Amino acid sequence: MGGARRVGIGMDYSPSSKSALQWAVDNLVNGEDHQIIIIDVQSPKSEYILWEDTGSPLIPLDEFKVINVSKLYGITPDPQVIDILDTAHRTKRVNVVFKVYWGDPREKMCEAVEDLKLHSLVVGSRGLGSLKRVLLGSVSNYVVTNATCPVTVVKGAAVSKP
């Protein structure tokens, strides 16, 4: 990873996380000196107990696109996300890797900041109202409050690509 600026992007494959990804690619990363780390937090499952504390190894984009590798970690590649990342890799020569964690997304996102030594983190927001945010909690609100790096929260609808 060397001296690359590491930008983490929280990804749950929702429209808001895809908007956050597109925003980061358009506004935050600008070349070979940047690395995008997609942080995917899954519900705890007994078959992933080996990586419960540390998460998966870093998975390069080319390996992630292979169905068997992604199924190994219990996720299916999203074509829209892969397209955005492929384009960023080709046009901006940005290094892209994935990291999968299992557990509470709020805690795991903050742990990822420390583990991966992120320079910044970008997350999407579902846009919960005040009452729902109080009752259900907000991952983005928790991460903004507790992460040890700058956090950008992106609101918005899904990015539509052909």
The closest of 160, 161, 13 to 76, measured between CA atoms, is 13
Predicted local distance difference test score (pLDDT) of residue 151? 94
Establish if 40 belongs to a structural domain: yes
- 8 Å CB contact between 134 and 94: no
Establish if 120 belongs to a structural domain: yes
Establish if 160 belongs to a structural domain: no
CA distance 72 to 9: 21
Q: Which domain holds residue 45?
A: 5-155
Establish if 107 belongs to a structural domain: yes
Establish if 143 belongs to a structural domain: yes
Establish if 121 belongs to a structural domain: yes
Total number of domains constituting the chain: 1
Establish if 162 belongs to a structural domain: no
**Predicted TM-score (pTM) of this structure:** 0.85
Residue 63 maps to which CATH number? 3.40.50.620
The closest of 139, 73, 79 to 110, measured between CA atoms, is 139
pLDDT (tens digit, 9 = 90+) per residue, 61-93? 998 888 677 777 878 788 999 999 999 999 999
Beta-carbon contacts of 76 under 8 Å, excluding residues fewer than 6 positions away, are 67, 70
DSSP track, 121-136: EEEEE----HHHHHHH
CA distance 38 to 66: 16
Establish if 161 belongs to a structural domain: no
Predicted local distance difference test score (pLDDT) of residue 134? 44
Q: Profile the chain (162 residues) by mean pLDDT over runs of 10 residues.
A: 79 91 92 87 71 83 81 82 94 93 92 95 73 55 92 71 46
